[in-house]
Amino acid sequence: MAETSYAEAMSTVVPDGGSPPWKPWTAPVALVVAFLFAIVGGLIVAIVGAAFGASIDDPPPAVNIVATVVQDGGFIGAALVFAGREGPVSLARFGLRPAALRTSLGWMALAFAVYLAFSGAWMSVLDLHQKDNLPKELGVESSTAALVAVCVLVTVIAPIAEELFFRGYFFGALRNWHGPWLAAVVTGLVFGAIHVGSAPVAFLVPLAMLGFMLCVVRWRTGSLLPCMALHAVNNGLAFGVSEHWIAWQVLLLIAGATAVVLLAATAFVDREPAGRALI
């Protein structure tokens, strides 16, 4: 039998790869474990930083940035640990599989349009203005190095880690409860809620809508790659606007971040029908 090329696989992949055999109750437990990983990891980073003279009460940008990276790593670690309860972890079960380009672009455009329309209406009704606290809290104003590090963290690392956990594991497990629609609603609400602290409370509702629409993209394309790409686009846009960059700089950031995310994720894409084991 002739081998199927990656390009052919992308053109013939069937939307909705199905639900992985993960128990629904493991979704919230995995979220708790992810936060425990983040807390323990953050404490270790703070202790190491203090050993080198950093303040624990007012840590420098380097400590905050590393702690946030560890937090994202906690999401990935929790997803892998709980997925491993059902045997070898298949990359395809997380959605790391080829996606049809035309289908992906269509659902991404629809999802982003719905999210932007909802966000615009929400902000208009409540008379809100765009505000993202996270870059400033991480110290983007302290140095160019911090600005670059936070930019990579927000536009590359966060989309990969959060999509692997929320649309890859959390949504996948909850789909075995009452189907994809309720799973998408719950995942969206939780996704909005976890941004407490990094975004004003009023902005959590639009973020929940984004989380919901990303689940729809994951479901209808059968792949996590479009979700990661769309997440990178959104975060790149938000970061550029928060830093008051001009249009071409924002567009360059979005293009660069999306390309890096897809290149990094594609290295782990499962091209085999049976699913390649990760661990």
Query: In this predicted model, which residue has the larger pLDDT, 18 or 263?
Result: 263
CB 73 within 8 A of CB 41: yes
Per the domain annotation, does 55 fall within a domain? Answer: yes
Least confident stretch, 108-122, 124-138, 144-158:
124-138
Question: Does residue 253 carry a pLDDT above 90?
Answer: yes
> pLDDT for 182-228, tens place per residue?
999 999 999 999 998 777 788 899 999 999 999 999 999 999 999 99
| Count of structural domains within the chain | 1
Q: Does 212 fall in a domain?
A: yes
Query: Is the pLDDT confidence value at 94 over 90?
Result: yes
More confident residue, 29 or 137: 29
Task: Return the number of other C-beta atoms located less than 10 Å from residue 117's C-beta.
Answer: 11
Cβ within 8 Å of residue 203, ≥6 positions away: 128, 131, 195
pTM for the model: 0.88
Q: Is residue 152 part of a domain?
A: yes
What would the two tokens of residue 198 be?
A: 């990094």
How many Cβ atoms sit within 10 Å of the Cβ of residue 42? Answer: 19
What is the reported pLDDT for 17? 54
User: Which residues have CB under 8 Å from 111's CB, separation 6+?
Assistant: 213, 214, 216, 217, 230
Range of the domain at 199: 22-266
Flag whether 104 is in a domain. yes
Q: Tell me, yes or no, whether 186 lies in a domain.
A: yes
Residue 279 lies in a domain: no
Rg for the chain, CA atoms, rounded:
19
Q: Pick the residue with more confidence: 96 or 141? A: 96
Kindly state whether residue 16 falls inside one of the protein's structural domains.
Answer: no
10 pLDDT higher than 70: no
What does the pLDDT read at residue 212? 98
83/124 Cα distance (integer angstroms): 41
Report the Cα 189 to chain-centroid distance in Å. 14
Q: Which pLDDT score is estimated for 239?
A: 92
* Confidence tier at 8 by pLDDT (50, 70, 90): very low
Rounded mean pLDDT of 107-127? 94
Q: Which range has the top average pLDDT, 37-46, 123-132, 161-170?
A: 161-170
The band of 263, judged by pLDDT with boundaries at 50, 70 and 90, is very high
Look at 199 and 109; give whichever has higher pLDDT.
Answer: 109
Q: Taking 70 as the threshold, does the pLDDT of residue 1 lie above it?
A: no
Q: Is residue 232 part of a domain?
A: yes
Phi-psi sector, 14: left (phi>0), alpha (psi -120 to 50), beta: beta
